[in-house]
């Protein structure tokens, strides 16, 4: 008789533990929806950051092209100034 009571109590405990560990479908759906909302928000932020990065990259490329053009003009002017300086040195004073 005592053995039967212990066996019944053990089955009740095991049954209770096993049932409490199961999640209901609505519980899982609720938490999946919450996670999906967070993922959606993060995707929106990532897209915004990506667009900002692409704009910054385009601006940097434009600035690099402008700097390259300015350097080319500077190189051309330097050659002209050097030529003029050489002409002035080669000229004799008028006195």
pTM reported for the whole predicted model: 0.53
Confidence of residue 33 (pLDDT cuts 50, 70, 90): very high
Give backbone dihedrals phi and psi of 59, rounded to 5 degrees, phi first: -65, -40
Each residue's pLDDT tens digit, 15-27: 665 555 577 889 9
Q: What's the N-to-C CA distance of the chain in angstroms?
A: 139
| Helices H / strands E in the chain, number of each | 2, 0
- Boundaries of every domain in the chain: 25-90
Q: Please, is 82 exposed, middle or buried when counting C-beta atoms within 10 Å of its C-beta (0-12, 13-18, 19+)?
A: exposed
Per-residue model confidence as pLDDT tens digits over 47-88: 999 999 999 999 999 999 999 999 999 999 998 888 888 888
């Amino acid at each position: 008789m005592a053995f039967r009571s212990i066996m019944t109590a053990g089955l009740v405990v095991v049954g209770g533990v096993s049932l409490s560990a199961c999640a209901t479908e609505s519980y899982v759906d609720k938490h999946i929806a919450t996670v999906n909302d967070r993922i959606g928000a993060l995707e929106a932020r990532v897209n915004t950051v990506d667009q900002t990065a692409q704009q910054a990259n385009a601006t940097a490329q434009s600035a690099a092209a402008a700097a390259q053009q300015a350097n080319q003009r500077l190189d051309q002017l330097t050659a002209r100034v050097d030529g003029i300086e050489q002409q002035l040195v080669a000229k004799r004073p008028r006195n």
